[in-house]
């Protein structure tokens, strides 16, 4: 049975990951292009599909049921980009992105991206998921046993070919807000990739951003949390640690560990069976799960 007809927008280095996610999520890739136009032919050839070298045209074509923007490039900054996404969403096309679009809050607030946002989605759905990540979905019941969470630490990391730093930051903040609410203060620090100089800042947009970030958050009632996000790691990994009055709860892609205040360890709750076959990487499993929930 044919899968959801999908057009993908990606860099050549992402071909292997995108192909694996599409296979695991049941997507049929019917077109591919790149934010770097000369590379569109190479990515479509590697994926064995027609070239789609105009993203706006792809959104308007009606040729797909799903469009996955694995790397945005300049898309989201141009006039007409917001309208193209909005019209596709209105026609029932699922528009996904692993790069924030638009990548600047001012761009969102002062442009067509925000028009009609109160009544319908106007921007692509970001993957990986935030609060709906597989590991966190399994943690609702154990979290209720902690007796009130006072502190927490989150780690959301991946390989550069899986998601940009901006997408990981959105996911991490969504996880934090779901668990703790809105913070009173945030202290953030950015570290560029490789041998970036200390003075190299992230710029004005999260789109295409690479590197690592740490955030320390304080809440009005005295609770505190920390977040590490990075696209400089070899593979997707999510870890969340919650410290409560009764216990410490550690959640990651392998399962859940509950340790009470006296040091008694309970058996981890195994990650549910399903997508995680031994041959699939953690990132492929997470992305395929997110795509399946959206579609």
Average pLDDT of the segment spanning 140-169: 90
Mean pLDDT, the chain, as a whole number?
Answer: 86
pLDDT for the residue numbered 226: 98
Give me the domains of the chain, ranges plus CATH numbers. 4-126 (3.40.50.720), 134-274 (3.30.360.10)
CB 238 within 8 A of CB 135: yes
Q: The pTM is what?
A: 0.88
In tens, the pLDDT along 42-76 reads: 999 999 999 998 999 999 988 899 999 999 998 88
pLDDT for the residue numbered 277: 45
CB 211 within 8 A of CB 190: yes
In tens, the pLDDT along 227-277 reads: 999 999 999 999 999 999 888 999 988 888 888 878 887 754 444 444 444
In the numeric block, which tokens belong to residue 23?
């296979």
Taking the C-alpha atoms of residue 62 and residue 57, their distance in angstroms, rounded to an integer, is 9
Does the structure show a pLDDT above 80 at 200? Answer: no
Order the strands of the 94-97 sheet from edge to edge: 27-33, 4-9, 66-69, 94-97, 125-126
User: Can you state the angle between helices 15-25 and 282-294, rounded to 10 degrees?
Assistant: 50
pLDDT for the residue numbered 120: 65
In tens, the pLDDT along 269-283 reads: 444 444 444 467 889
Does the structure show a pLDDT above 50 at 164? Answer: yes
pLDDT band at 1 (very low <50, low <70, confident <90, very high): very low
Q: Which SS3 state, helix, strand or coil, does residue 17 take? A: helix
Helix ranges (DSSP H) in 10-116:
15-25, 40-47, 55-61, 81-90, 105-109
CA distances from 126 to 2, 100, 168, 253, 255 (A): 24, 7, 9, 19, 24
pLDDT for the residue numbered 20: 96
């Amino acid at each position: 049975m044919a899968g959801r007809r999908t057009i993908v927008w990606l860099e050549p280095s992402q071909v292997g990951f995108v192909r694996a996610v599409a296979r695991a999520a049941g997507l049929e890739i019917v077109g591919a292009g790149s934010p770097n136009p000369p590379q569109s032919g190479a990515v479509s050839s590697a994926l064995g599909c027609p070239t789609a070298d105009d993203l706006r045209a792809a959104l308007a074509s009606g040729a797909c049921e799903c469009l996955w923007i694995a790397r945005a490039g300049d898309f989201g900054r141009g006039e007409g980009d917001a309208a193209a996404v909005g019209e596709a969403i209105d026609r029932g096309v699922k528009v996904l992105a692993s790069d924030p679009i638009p990548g600047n809050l001012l761009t969102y607030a002062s442009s067509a991206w925000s028009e009609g946002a109160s009544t319908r989605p106007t921007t692509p759905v970001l993957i990986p998921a935030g609060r709906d990540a597989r590991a966190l979905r399994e943690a609702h019941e154990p979290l209720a046993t902690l007796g009130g969470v006072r502190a927490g630490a989150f780690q959301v990391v991946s390989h550069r070919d899986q998601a940009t730093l901006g997408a990981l930051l959105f996911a991490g903040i969504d996880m934090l807000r779901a668990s703790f609410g809105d913070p009173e203060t945030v202290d953030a620090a950015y570290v560029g990739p490789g041998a970036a100089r200390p003075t190299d800042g992230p710029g004005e947009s999260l789109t295409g951003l690479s590197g690592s970030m740490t955030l320390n958050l304080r809440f009005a009632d005295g609770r505190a949390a920390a977040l590490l996000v990075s696209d400089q790691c070899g593979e997707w990994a999510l870890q969340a640690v919650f410290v409560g009055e009764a216990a410490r709860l550690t959640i990651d892609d392998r399962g859940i560990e509950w340790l009470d205040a006296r040091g008694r360890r309970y058996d981890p709750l195994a990650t549910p069976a399903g997508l995680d076959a031994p041959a699939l990487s953690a990132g492929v499993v997470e992305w395929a799960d997110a795509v399946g929930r959206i579609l």
